[in-house]
Amino acid sequence: MMEKATKSALIVGATGLVGKELVDIVLNEPNYHSVTILTRKLLPLTHPKLEQIITDFDQLDQYQQHLQVDDVYCCLGTTIKTAGSQDAFRKVDLTYPLELAVLTKSLGAQKFLIITAMGADPDSKVFYSRVKGEIEVELKDLGFSALHIFRPSLLLGERQEFRLGERIGVILSPVLSFLMVGSLKKYKPIHAKVVAMAMYQASLLPKSGSFTYESDEIYRLSTESNS
């Protein structure tokens, strides 16, 4: 007899490349009895476990009744080009995730799972990598029972927005994947669905602490069975 699901999940960034794949996975796996999405626009999706909340991310504290969950999946992310400025980018990739983490932790969340990026480093001279590294440091200081940080390389999948660099990477992906072996494995392009599955698998791990996964580790985790 299948055990009754006892956990609840929150997904932020559900319209993004990884977020869309993650929603599909968590809704169809038996471990959650409810899945809440904070979003600026509704997904064309209905499910008995799903609740979608149209959200003003500048007023996250107004949604606390929806933030009392066990596991938080943060898939927020943008580019400086899309955001329009470094300040706007920083808001999406650091301010919002940190506020989300602080609020959900205060309301009882046990696990926080977030996508940053390969090369994340708070001391990096590259603004993008520095912001990604800063959010990692901030989250580690919050003391979640379990913090899982995912640093994928080039993400493969169907985006709604056009990104020239990623399109070139997709074209070159078969060659890059063939060449990247050994210590270079973490640089291989990785599909968004693989990252999403790794995030879900990490949520099942019965261990505490802070864990960081590069692309090769993400791929390995996605293929494990922890249920």
CATH of the domain at 73: 3.40.50.720
Q: In whole angstroms, give the CA distance from residue 130 to residue 134.
A: 6
Domain that holds residue 81: 7-159+191-216
In a domain, 164, yes or no: no
Percent of residues, the chain, with pLDDT higher than 70: 83
The residues annotated with a catalytic role in the active site are 128, 132
In a domain, 175, yes or no: no
Check if the beta carbon of residue 45 is closer than 8 Å to that of residue 20: no
pTM of the model: 0.87
Q: How many domains does the chain have?
A: 1
Sheet holding 111-115, edge to edge: 50-54, 32-39, 7-12, 71-74, 111-115, 146-151, 209-214
Check if the beta carbon of residue 135 is closer than 8 Å to that of residue 76: no
In a domain, 89, yes or no: yes
In a domain, 221, yes or no: no
pLDDT digits over 4-53, tens only?
A: 678 999 999 999 999 999 999 999 999 999 999 999 999 999 999 999 99
